[in-house]
A and B are shown apart, each in its own frame.
Chain A
Amino acid sequence: MTNPDANFLKGQKHLTRRYRAEQRFQWIGRIAIAASLTFLVFMVASIFWQGKGALITTKIALTVDLSTEMIDPANIKGASFDKIIKLALRTEFPEATKRKQKKRLYALVSSDAGFQLRDQILEGPALLGADQTIWVSASDDVDMLMKGHIDRNKPQNSRRLSDQQISWIDALLVKQVFNTGFFTNGDSREPELAGILSALVGSALSLLICFALSFPIGIMSAIYLEEFAKKGRWSDLIEININNLAAVPSIVFGLLGLSIFLNVFGLPRSSPLVGGMVLSLMTLPTIIIAARASLRAVPPSIREAALGMGASPVQATFHHVAPLAMPGFLTGTIVGMAQALGETAPLLMIGMVAFIVDIPGSILEPATALPVQIFLWADSPERAFLEKTSAAIIVLLIFLVLMNIIAIILRKKYEIRF
């Protein structure tokens, strides 16, 4: 046989062009993925970078006069602790004589310093009777200076601390310690005092309500739709409904909560009860969809076996099918709860944007939630709130990661294999 093009299988010239196009095409995909992931890494890293400072706070050592003249040991609480603090500062820096100077001097410590002094005395009354050195919180400006966010080289009228204030700080004994207050305090107008505990409790209470409502309702409707409902217009209608609800903007659920739960039912505004109810409506579709998938994964032979033993359909479902699908139910619920934990907009609608200092004690008291706290702090002008916001985001992300890890472990551990 004669072969006119003996090398017909080798790459021809125009093939190199086609292969270049092939390479280009693959690289477009790689670059797209890399771009999205780079954004993710950059965002998370920058937030961690900004937020890590909030874990540290600055304390100032003051020598306070705790003689009985200042504090009556029989009536400790009646003493004026603010005065003691101010006196201590004035004794340290007698040059501050003018009103304005004194004001600047007092601004070095947190407005909470008096209470901190009181708490330390109540804890250790032995301190009374003499001069003592105690540690109190510095103000947020001092804290920012210590963390390097205030530039000493700038002219003094373009930074928040004057030259004199900085020289006082340098003369004082200061230390940076772990900021427990961030985890044990409620919100505060003073950045150095603001903490996330009230928001965390608000979120926890809301999620509790959300779980108590959406788990049983979601599972029951999933079981009904998957195991009992006859395929027809009615079940189609419910199905379309669920799919649409899953895509309704979250803020619309907030409007529903405002107009029905608050205005029609008259439930307490800003309360975790209403917050949880609104969130449960949003997580319902997620739970139903996941639970149905998990029910579908249970092989029909299980149902047949149970029915064949004389179990009624309800018994077969609740005794045999549902327990096998339970890990799937839980996984779906945790994923739904994680969504609910990060949800902000609907909570704004029902008034959970309040400024909450106290830790909410019940589901009827005004509360806020962690993401809403983030929203509120993000709006505050003080530099110190920037790191608080970032730190609150870190806490939120850690909770979300934990919840998702639990969901993944559940899924892996109990994956139905038949």
Chain B
Amino acid sequence: MASDNMNTANSFNITSGNRSKFTETLVKAAMILCSLVAVAVTIGIVLSLIFEALEFFKRIPLSEFLFSTEWSPQTALRSDQVATEGKFGVIPLFTGTMLISAIAMCVATPLGLASAVFLAEYASKRTRDWVKPMLEILAGIPTVVYGFFAALTVAPFIRMTGGNVGLEVSSESALAAGLVMGIMIVPLISSLSDDVINAVPQAMRDASLGLGATHSETVKQVILPAALPGIAGSLLLAASRAIGETMIVVMAAGLAANLTANPLEAVTTITAQIVALLTGDQEFDSAKTLSAFALGLLLFIVTLALNYLSLRIVKKYREKYD
């Protein structure tokens, strides 16, 4: 390859040799193909979800899916049974998802933000160096482990505590799943917010401290307001993570499609239902199976919107201080 365009005293050839050009084109083509995989995956997700969901909406009208308040996807178990038409109203699943995510955010937002502020503003470098990786461990533990802990330790504990103070707590409560999920997303919020807080220019701190503000006054009144858009972005990302989380809710939240705002009752979520619909015996092409894809499409749209919004906000915020 090198000899092709080697220039010696008597031949000054500055056009590239054919062979090297060919391999280079080949390598480049391979690289382009590889980077198109990411696009192909997105297209694959969108097409497969839309295609199967359309099949579903041929059987169950979109309006019923979106606005009906009852979810019981029972269809015939054996061919000789009369198929009872299932009910496919997504509202209880949607509210269940929101309830659990809201509980998770209520746990994760204060913990994550307070941790981020402490790490970014107060902690010594040594403290940072060991606390940050420790918090990251929370994000690295597989969700099935959280699910196990939520179902077998946290839920019974809440039930028992609730019983002691005279509260009726279902054995699979939204609270247990939400609490544990909240802890899981703490590092997501804390590390993103930490970055955002560090991006606030030092000049803001100097100005405030130079006026005689205490450190906490500076944080509360100058730094956090300045970092607010970035923090909002990180919270949106965390919310999207909570909405899409599967194993914790499958193991700890249960399958009862209750339309309730009571965190002590059992609710189910979009993700838990997808798992329930697609594990175990399934006849393909039944409304029950196809409905999982309609749920998947809904989940994809909601999380995509949240992610997109969050990325936009954070990007805008970054530009402001660069």
Contact = CB atoms under 8 A, between A and B. Distances in A.
14 contacts: A22-B217, A24-B216, A32-B113, A32-B115, A33-B114, A33-B118, A220-B35, A221-B37, A224-B34, A237-B39, A249-B244, A250-B244, A251-B274, A348-B275
B144 interface: yes
Contact of A36 (B41, B122, B183, B220): B183
Contact of B145 (A345, A351, A379, A396): A396
Interface stretch (B44-52, B69-77, B85-93, B169-177): B44-52
A259 B293 contact: yes
Contacts of B34: 216-218, 220-221, 224
A295 to B, nearest CB: 13
A91 interface: no
Interface string A249-266: 111110110111001000
A26 to B, nearest CB: 6
Interface in B267-284: 271, 274-275, 278-279, 284
Interface residues of A, number: 86
A346 to B, nearest CB: 9
- B-side binding surface: helix, strand, loop or mixed? helix
Interface string A349-385: 1010100000000000000000110110011000000
Interface string A232-261: 000001101111110111111101101110
B251 A260 contact: no
Nearest to B2: A310
A374 B144 CA distance: 7
Interface string A279-296: 001001100100000000
For the complex of A and B, the 10 pairs showing the least CB-CB separation, nearest first, are A29-B118, A249-B244, A342-B142, A221-B35, A32-B114, A220-B34, A25-B216, A224-B31, A345-B246, A259-B48
A110 interface: no
Interface stretch (B159-167, B199-207, B258-266, B301-309): B301-309
Contacts of A19: 214
Contacts of A344: 142-144, 246-247
Interface in A8-44: 18-19, 21-22, 24-26, 28-33, 35-37, 39-40, 43
A255 B246 contact: no
Contacts of B225: none
B135 to A, nearest CB: 6
Contacts of A247: 237, 240-241, 303, 307
A404 interface: yes
Nearest to A371: B144
Nearest to B52: A259
A188 to B, nearest CB: 20
B106 interface: no
Contact of B271 (A35, A251, A259, A374): A251
A255 B274 contact: yes
B214 A288 contact: no
B151 interface: yes
Interface in B5-39: 5, 16, 20, 23-24, 27-28, 30-32, 34-39
B41 A245 contact: yes
Nearest to B45: A256
A338 interface: yes
B292 interface: yes
Contacts of A345: 143, 246-247, 250, 271, 275
A224 B38 CA distance: 13
Nearest to A312: B24
A288 to B, nearest CB: 7
B131 A258 contact: no
A240, A251, A397, most chain B CB atoms within 10 A: A251
Contact of B122 (A26, A242, A374): A26
A411 B145 CA distance: 27
Given A221-B37, A375-B251, A252 B183 contact: no
A128 to B, nearest CB: 46
A24 B48 CA distance: 53
B45 A343 contact: no
A367 to B, nearest CB: 16
A161 interface: no
Interface in B99-158: 110-115, 117-119, 122, 131, 134-135, 137-138, 140-149, 151-153
A32 B24 CA distance: 54
A416 interface: no
A30 B242 CA distance: 25
Given A251-B271, A345-B246, A241 B42 contact: yes
Given A21-B216, A245-B42, A404-B140, A374 B243 contact: no
A344 to B, nearest CB: 4
B57 interface: no
B27 A46 contact: no
Contacts of A221: 31, 34-35, 37-38
A250 B241 CA distance: 10
Contacts of B246: 249-251, 344-345
Contact of B293 (A46, A218, A255, A396): A255
Nearest to B143: A344
Contacts of B31: 220-221, 223-224, 228
B245 A238 contact: no
